[in-house]
Structure 1
Amino acid sequence: MDGLNLLPVFAVGVAGSVHCVGMCGGIVGALSGALGKPGPGRTIPIAPAASAMPALAALDGAARVLAYNAGRIASYMAAGALAGGLANGAGTLALAARWQGVAYLLANAMLVALGLYLMNAWHGLARVEAAGNVLWRRLLPALRYLLPADSLPKSFALGALWGWVPCGMVYSVLLTALLAGSAAGGAAVMLAFGAGTLPMLLALGVAGARLRPAMQRPAVRTVCGTLVLGFGTLGLVRYGAGLPHGWLDALCLGGPA
């Protein structure tokens, strides 16, 4: 998978990050100190910055938000490397071309499902997230060793753990990582996706609760969902109609030639 093929993955991360507002927004705001007190849902209480000086406190909060996001993206890359490595092993077997075709169709179908999910038009991915709770319940006890996240290593570790929270959006992109055909390629796919989600979560770390209502507006979710839906639909049409490659590769996930 070359750099061009990573552009739609990055764009999916940018558009899909409106989902991150609800999934990870609370913890990011708490890490930065932007939220005055823990809110409902997924917010995790974080120790306040030790310094009483506003500038130093803000710098400390920003550093912890960066460390948290670095850990989160590292987990994405680890999952992508695992997915790409598994696909590479499967690719050595017979019927590899057919397997790649099925994976390509599934990856684009998941993007369609993700787009509808972001638009609040269909919530089938919520069932996929529920299935991921099996792994998350096993990881959850580790939180007691990371709270309060009052240091950069703890913030990084907390982000790395949070990267395994059941998320239909992450699962949909992991199917794309399968298409990379190697551990390095799978990690690159998830790095591009994580980089796409980074601006939103960094902004949440600065603006906190002030940004969350704006990003949850139906119009914003509809625009972002339509973009992701468009990528998935174009990929399915391209595969079904046998459209030529070339410039179209920049708008579609990597797939069978």
Structure 2
Amino acid sequence: MITSTTGLYLTAFLVGLLGGVHCLSMCGGLVGSLTAGLDPRIRRDPWRMAPYQLLYNLARIAGYATAGALFGGLGALLLQLDAFQIMQRALYALAGVVMILLGLYLGGWWRLIAVVERAGAHLWRRIEPFGRRLLPVRTPLQAAALGYLWAWIPCGLVYSVLITAVSTGHPLDGALVMLAFGAGTLPNLLGIGLLAGAAARIAERVWVRQVAGLLVIGFGVHALWSLFG
């Protein structure tokens, strides 16, 4: 089991980075909507477009941190229970299983994780209309608001790391775990916005998705081995 907070942050970052091909498929259209709503003169100039993309992604990561703080707070409540150690181990085990399922999904071998994503669809249906009102994006503030809202889109990758955030047993640690995860996703999603379809075309290659899937499966297997090995 990962016992240091540094280990948790590193794992969350690497899961975000390696699972970035999933981010491209889940959020690529959303980032494309952001880009399409900008003034054509801004779209043609990557340097002028960069602040919008950066604000969008920083706000998205802030949304992840908010969720991490909430789930870390839930862990703090569970810490008050006599059986917290058992609960903590169970949460680590669940996170490991979800990562394995996520890796299978990324590699295109099994799509069971899609069921987990659909579980968050009820919340997203309540949030998504607010995002639509911000389109088309005309100002940096709109880009930031849109990014924060879209942090709550149903995503098995996010859910697997949120389970780890619960196991920290502290709101601040939970927020930092999700910040590390969000930082890992940043290169891929900035690549969509600034490099148009180039990043998406790379992510569509079967071998890229399969390598990412195998590596994420490795994280899940390691987590379970640390617990039961």
Superposed pair shares fold, TM > 0.5: yes
Q: How does 1:177-256 map to 2 (within 5 A)?
A: 177-241=165-229
Aligned to 1:20: 23
The match for 1:76 among 42, 64, 79 is 64
Instruction: Tell me which amino acid in the other structure corresponds to 2:107.
Output: M
Aligned to 1:146, the other structure's residue is in SS state coil
Higher helix share: 2
Aligned to 1:85: 73
Compute the RMSD of aligned alpha carbons: 1.6
- CA distance in 2 between counterparts of 1:30 and 1:144 reads 10
Aligned to 1:24, the other structure's residue is in SS state helix
Aligned to 1:252: none
Does residue 137 of the first structure (1) align with residue 125 of the second (2)? yes
Kindly provide the CA deviation profile for residues 156-212 of structure 1, in whole angstroms up to 9, marking residues without a partner as x: 100111111111111111111111110000000100000000011111112111221
Kindly provide the CA deviation profile for residues 52-108 of structure 1, in whole angstroms up to 9, marking residues without a partner as x: 795xx4333111111110111111111110000001111111111111111111011
Cα deviation, residue 51, structure 1: 4.1
Cα deviation, residue 239, structure 1: 1.0
- CA distance in 2 between counterparts of 1:85 and 1:52 reads 41
Does residue 165 of the first structure (1) align with residue 168 of the second (2)? no
Task: Go from structure 1 to structure 2 and tell me whether the alpha carbon gap of 1:123 and 1:144 turns closer, same or farther (over 3 Å shift).
Answer: closer
> Gaps (5+ residues) in structure 1?
33-45, 242-257
The match for 1:47 among 11, 30, 37 is 37
Kindly provide the CA deviation profile for residues 207-229 of structure 1, in whole angstroms up to 9, marking residues without a partner as x: 11122122111100010111110
CA contact (8 A) 2:188 2:199 kept: no
Kindly provide the CA deviation profile for residues 3-25 of structure 1, in whole angstroms up to 9, marking residues without a partner as x: 23311111111100100111111
Larger radius of gyration: 1
Count of residues in Structure 1 that have an aligned counterpart in Structure 2 = 226
Does residue 8 of the first structure (1) align with residue 20 of the second (2)? no
CA contact (8 A) 2:75 2:166 kept: yes
List structure 1 runs of 4+ shifted beyond 6 angstroms. Answer: none
Aligned to 1:63: 51
Aligned to 2:115: 127
- CA distance in 1 between counterparts of 2:198 and 2:89 reads 44
**Matched-pair identity in %:** 44
Cα deviation, residue 30, structure 1: 4.1
Instruction: Tell me which amino acid in the other structure corresponds to 2:105.
Output: Y
